[in-house]
Chains A and B, each alone.
Chain A
Amino acid sequence: DSGVTQTPKHLITATGQRVTLRCSPRSGDLSVYWYQQSLDQGLQFLIQYYNGEERAKGNILERFSAQQFPDLHSELNLSSLELGDSALYFCASSPLLSSYEQYFGPGTRLTVT
């Protein structure tokens, strides 16, 4: 158990819908990262937040957005969902802005039908 929690574990929804994935980092970690794991794209970095501020963006679609709240939990919002958005979404956390050592949560499996 890494100490990173993600909810829900599984999510099934229809095309065009909007969902919110939630992540609580390890106690004391200020940085949160979101990754997408799909069969065709592999593991891709989406976005990083540090202490409430966006720090880096990767291959994140405009339909996707994220935020980190004052209590340091983070949410990833996916809207206008398409079949191709079906994937495993991981959250990871690390203690510092400069830390590359990331601890991953169990993931949320999103299925878009």
Chain B
Amino acid sequence: AQSVTQPDIHITVSEGASLELRCNYSYGATPYLFWYVQSPGQGLQLLLKYFSGDTLVQGIKGFEAEFKRSQSSFNLRKPSVHWSDAAEYFCAVGGAGGGNKLTFGTGTQLKVEL
């Protein structure tokens, strides 16, 4: 069965600092990988996705993620964090089982200090 681990429950960074959120997945074949962001009281917004090809993918809002098969990781990065990036971030994997369900990690809550 596919699974996703986000080892950091909370992360605090200063505005302008760089950010890396960790995501490890477990899946037998090449996974479909996603990062979503959830602001307070809001739904989930798709930041970026990896299906195949270039292992460094660019997303919206200046985010990028790198797929590393050898490490089963798909870490999210941003070179300079803005206060508006404070939110909860979810990594998700798709590709196994019937249908197209996504399996989500437990999320990382990002706090940005001004």
A residues apposed to B, CB below 8 Å: 2, 4, 31, 33, 42-45, 48, 55-58, 90, 92, 94, 97-107
Contact = CB atoms under 8 A, between A and B. Distances in A.
By DSSP majority rule, is chain A's interface helix, strand, loop, or mixed? strand
Interface of B: 32, 34, 36, 42-46, 49, 51, 90, 94-95, 97-107
B39 to A, nearest CB: 11
Given A48-B99, A56-B100, A102-B46, 16 more contacts: A2-B43, A33-B101, A33-B102, A42-B104, A48-B101, A55-B98, A55-B100, A57-B98, A57-B99, A99-B100, A100-B34, A101-B34, A101-B46, A102-B100, A102-B102, A104-B36
Contacts of B99: 48, 55-57
Contacts, number: 63
A100 B102 contact: yes
B26 to A, nearest CB: 16
Contact of B107 (A42, A55, A102): A42
**Most chain A CB within a 10 A radius of its CB, from B32, B42, B44, B94:** B44
A84 B51 CA distance: 36
Given A42-B106, A42-B107, A43-B90, A104 B44 contact: yes
A92 B102 CA distance: 11
A58 B104 CA distance: 13
B108 to A, nearest CB: 12
Contacts of B103: 45
A56 B98 contact: yes
**Most chain A CB within a 10 A radius of its CB, from B32, B34, B101, B107:** B101
A57 B100 CA distance: 10
**Most chain B CB within a 10 A radius of its CB, from A31, A56, A104:** A104
Given A42-B106, A42-B107, A45-B103, A104 B43 contact: yes
